[in-house]
A and B are shown apart, each in its own frame.
Chain A
Amino acid sequence: MLNLLQIELFKIFKRPRTYIAFAVITVIVLLIQVALKFGGQEYIALMMSGLNESFEVPAEEILNGYLVCFVILNLLLIHVPILVALIAGDAIAGEANMGTLRILASKPISRTKLLLVKFTASSIYTLLLLIWVAFFALLVSILLFGVNDLFVARELESNIISADDVLWRYMAAFGFAAIGLICVASLAFMLSVFAENSIGPIVATVCIIIIFTILTQLQIPFYDETIKPWLFTTHMLGWKGFFYVKGVEGVTVHGSIENLAAIFKSAFILMGYIVLFLVVAIVYFKKKDILS
C-alpha cells in the first residue's frame, strides 16, 4: 500500500497543475495581507460598527496577526475547497480521460485498494495545502502584524481571547479544517468515479458547495429544522467553534470553549460523510465496467 501511495503522490506532484493551487493560495493570502496592512482600519471599523458607539475601539491593537489569520481563514475556507476539488475530482476521472485507468485497473491490485490509495493521496495533498494555508495565513501574518489579543466578531456578540490563549486554538482549528477539507475531497473523489472527464466532478463539487453554503447561511425556519443540521457545509464551519469562548459575567474564561460537544458532533458528522462518500465510490467502482 505504501508503495502504491508513493506512486500516486509522485504522479500528483509531478503534474504542473498541482502547484496552481499553492500559487493561488499564496497570491490570495498576500493580497489580503497587503489590503489589511494598508486598509485594515476600514475593515475594523466595519466589524466594530456595533461597538464603536459605546466603546473606544483600540483599532491598532485589534488589527494584529491573529485577527488577520482569522479573516483569511474566513475567506479562504470557502475557496480552498475549490482547489481541493481540482485534484480530488481528477483522481479517477482524470485517469479515465488520459486512458491510464484501464492499465491501472488491469494490474494485480484490487479496485478497493486502488481507490483507497488514490483517496489517501488526495487527502495528503489536501493536508499539504492546508499546511501551506496555515503557514501563510498564520505565520506570515504574525510576522507582518505582530500578535495581540484576538477579537472574534459574531452576529450577536464579540469575544476577545488573550494572546496567550490563541495559538492552541488555531492548531485545533486547522485540525478541524483538515477534516472539513477531506470531506470536500471525498465528495469530489466520489463524483470522479462516475465520470470519464475531470471537469464534471470538479464543477459538480463546486456547485454543491455553493448551493449548500447558501442554504447554510439562509435563515429560513423550514431549512433550519430539516436539512441545515445535515449539510456538511454547516459543519465545516466548526473550526470557528474553537474561538467561541465561555464567559462568566462578561469575563472570558481562559482556555474554555463555549460548546466543545458541538464541535465534536460536527467532526463526527463530517467523518460520517467521508465514510459515506468513500463507500459509495468503492461500491460503484467495484461494479463499474471500465470502457475508457
Chain B
Amino acid sequence: MSSIISVRDLTKSFGEINAVDHLTFTVNEKEVYGFLGQNGAGKSTTIRMLLTLIKPSEGTIDIFGLSLKKHRNEILRRIGGIIEKPDMYKYLTAYENLSLFARVSGIKIKHQQLMDQLDQVGLAQRATSKVNTYSQGMKQRLGIAVSLVNNPDLVILDEPLNGLDPQGMADIRNLIIHLSKDLGKTIFISSHLLSEMELVADSLLIIDKGKKIVEGKMNEMLNPATTNVEVETASAEMLYQKLMDTTWKEAFRSLEGKKILLHMKREEVPVFIKELTLLNVPVYSIRPKHSLEDYFLSLTVR
C-alpha cells in the first residue's frame, strides 16, 4: 500500500513555543487515519500545515508522492478539508455556498450533482435556506459537503462530528466508512470522540504537546501488552488500604466511588485475580478496560 501523506520532522514554532515538535508520520492509501490528542496538543496546527494555511518552521510534507511546497496547487486539487468549526457565508444559502466553493476549487458541477452532495449529508431539504438559519450540526454537515464537493482523493476532517446528534454522528460515520471502503478515498480525521474513532479508524496517531506519542494500527493498539483492570467492590476504600500493603501498590491508578482502576501487564491479570480473592474484600466485578479511551488516557493523562 502506497503512502498518501508522508510527514518528516514537521515542526511549527510560535515564538519560543513549539506547537508541533518534529512530528513524523505516514498515512497510507485508502485508510482512515485517526489523529488524536488533548486540546492544544497541536492537531489543528498540523492539519493547517497539511492544508498550507501555516508554513512549517522545519520538516517536509509529501502528499501523493509530491512535495507540498513545490506542487501545492496540484495537490490541493485532490484534497478536501474542513478545519475546526466550519464557517460558511451566512448570507448565502447552502446551495450557493456549495456551488461557490466548487467553483473556487475549479470544478464545473451541475445542479443535480450539488443536490446529491447535499442529500448525502442530509441537507437537501434545506438547500435554499440561508446558512445563518442553520444549527451547528447542520453547518457541520455542510462543511463536510464542502470538503467533498471536488471529489477529492484525500479528505482531511478536523472534528467533523462536533455538534451532531447521535443519528447525525451515525450518518457521518457511515459516510466516512463508505468513502474509504467503497470509494477508496483516504481519510485523515481528528476527533476527541474516541468511541467514534474506535469505530472508523484503521490507523492512529496520538500526539501530546506537539510530539508524537504513538502511531500504529488500531487493532494492535487495542491489544497492547498492558491493560487496565477495573474492580467493583462493596468497599473500595478498604480494598485500597489493603492493596497499598501489597506489590500491587504500583499498579494502582484511581479510585472512584465503588471502583478501583489498576494498570498491569496482561499476563499478570490472572495472578492479580487470584491474590485479590485472598484479601477478603467483597468484589462485585472485575473488568479489563482496553478501549481506545483507556489507551489514550493512559498515554496522555499525568
Contact = CB atoms under 8 A, between A and B. Distances in A.
B227 to A, nearest CB: 40
A98 B97 CA distance: 13
Contact of A98 (B53, B82, B90, B106): B90
B52 A105 contact: yes
Contact of A14 (B83, B88, B91, B104): B91
B151 to A, nearest CB: 13
B89 A106 contact: no
Which of A102, A104, A109, A291 has the most chain B CB within a 10 Å cutoff?
A: A102
Contact of A287 (B55, B72, B91): B55
Contacts of B53: 102, 105-106, 289-291
Interface in A1-42: 3-4, 7, 10-11, 14-16
Contact of A109 (B48, B92, B100, B104): B104
B83 A102 contact: yes
A104 B88 CA distance: 11
B133 interface: no
A108 B76 contact: yes
A290 B48 contact: yes
A100 interface: yes
Contacts of A14: 89, 91-92, 96
Contacts of A107: 76, 101, 104-105
A99 interface: yes
B73 interface: yes
Contact of B87 (A3, A10, A15, A100): A100
B51 interface: yes
A7 B103 contact: yes
Interface bin, chain A: 20 to 34
Given A10-B100, A102-B83, A109-B73, A15 B52 contact: no
A103 interface: yes
B89 A11 contact: yes
Interface in A106-139: 106-110
Interface in A168-209: none
Interface in A262-281: none
A107 B79 CA distance: 9
A15 B88 CA distance: 13
Interface in B29-82: 48, 51-55, 72-77, 79, 81-82
Nearest to A286: B55
B51 A106 contact: yes
A289 B55 contact: yes
B126 interface: no
A10 B48 CA distance: 27
B154 interface: no
Contacts of A100: 87-89
B106 A108 contact: yes
Contact of A290 (B54, B74, B106): B54
Given A106-B52, A106-B76, A99 B85 contact: yes
B188 to A, nearest CB: 13
Interface of B: 48, 51-55, 72-77, 79, 81-83, 85-92, 96, 100-101, 103-106, 146
Given A108-B73, A291-B53, 16 more contacts: A11-B92, A98-B89, A99-B85, A99-B87, A102-B51, A105-B52, A105-B53, A106-B76, A106-B79, A108-B72, A108-B74, A108-B106, A109-B104, A289-B48, A291-B48, A291-B54
Give me the 7 closest cross-chain CB pairs, A-B, nearest first: A99-B87, A106-B51, A108-B76, A108-B73, A290-B53, A289-B54, A108-B77
7 contacts: A14-B96, A16-B91, A99-B85, A106-B76, A107-B104, A108-B75, A289-B54
